[in-house]
Amino acid sequence: MLNLVVCQGYVLYQFDIETAFLHGEMDAIVHIKQFKGFEVPGKEGWVRRLNKLLYGTKQAPRMWQAKLTQALKDLGMNSTRANDSLYTNDKQTMFLHVNVDDGFLIGKSEQELLQFLKEFHTVLKLKYQRNPTQHLCYQLNWTPDKNVYLSQHDLIHRLLGDSDIENSQTVKSPCNGNLLKEVEAVDEPVDVTGYQQVIGSLNYLAQHTQPDILFTVNSLSCHSTHPSERHWVALKHLLRNLKGTSQLCMYYSRDGNEKGLVGWTDADYTNDRCDRKSISGNLLTYHGNPVSWTSKKQSIVAQSTTEAEFISMNLCAKQIRWMTFLLTDLGQSTTKQTIFNDNSGVVTISSQASLNANTKHIEIR
């Protein structure tokens, strides 16, 4: 949605719904103990039946989603087929995306957005502001020409402080080359909980603003259940890299050279020495700005670099297909779609459907 704000000049409002889960209706019989200090005299051992949802009840997220969807539907906003959390009106002049109780509302007319927010506020109490500088764990820095820098500097600095890396020397590469060299290394185990906590934060960074560390984070995540000393060393190596790049941002600009939806795909052949499966890497851009990226282990063992690249290209094509649905829901044209790959064999197979002795076993994709 930020891409549309920058490239199409849409107006952006951020909103925050207050006490979201308390709005939902309880759909089951749930009893709780009486709160200490508020017991009914003579009935201290009794329990109370909940008529409304509370934070911590397992029904709360689902019933809140149902409440929100119905409220937006009554205001003329319906969820899209590509993303249940994305809503649009019939004229496709307003688009709303919500993450639990925080969201963005964008559109062409500021007057229309403000009118909707006022009506929304009468149903669910909320706060809103235009062009926010903070959203969830993101920092947004707007330029005078309405481009935006997106970062998670606060999360990175907090992570470095908790991991005692702030005074360590920085490194240029996020990946420790020794991480995957040994198939079954015998090493001392480390604190599983601490390792998993850091991996969780790093994965959040990689999925949202740091695509450059995604491959390394995924590799380290494979050892989350039984991490050893060498994995912890590799993890600290990644943190030292983050320290050196902590001031870098993702930049969304309307001046991108690549127009339309473009996919960039590559593969790391037989990356995993345990199962010999390759890694697919894909990046999607829209009008030159990044909108999606993945680093994923392939489900089968590729027999050649061409096959590994072909599988990766197929994954990229599927992601582009879904992205076209999403952009159509957002009222955007998706007539131009391009995939770039640097493997000549893949280019030949894709353009001419020609097979040889080394590629004839590849199934239709």
DSSP secondary structure string, 64-93? HHHHHHHHHHHTT-EE-SS-TTEEE-TTS-
- Could you give the angle at the alpha carbon of 271 between the alpha carbons of 267 and 276, nearest 5°? 115
How many residues belong to the chain? 365
Residue located via tokens 């949202």: 208
**Token code pair at residue 1:** 């949605």
CA gap 177, 182 in Å, rounded? 11
What are the structural domains, with CATH classification, of the chain?
A: 2-131 (3.30.70), 151-245 (no CATH), 257-352 (3.10.20.370)
**Token code pair at residue 255:** 């001046």
CA gap 34, 47 in Å, rounded? 6
CA distances from 171 to 157, 176, 233, 239, 241 (A): 16, 10, 13, 9, 5
Q: What is the pTM of this model?
A: 0.84
CA distances from 217 to 60, 211, 277, 318 (A): 31, 10, 17, 23
* pLDDT (tens place) for every residue of the chain, 365 residues total: 888 899 888 999 999 999 999 988 888 888 989 888 888 898 988 999 988 888 888 889 999 999 999 999 999 999 998 999 999 999 889 999 999 999 999 999 999 999 999 999 999 999 999 999 999 888 999 999 889 999 999 999 999 988 888 788 999 999 877 665 555 556 677 889 999 999 999 999 999 999 999 999 998 998 889 888 888 889 999 999 999 998 899 999 988 667 789 999 999 888 777 788 889 999 999 989 999 999 999 888 888 888 888 889 989 999 999 999 999 998 887 778 899 988 887 777 777 666 655 566 666 55
The contacts of residue 22 (CB under 8 Å, 6+ apart) are 52, 53, 54, 55
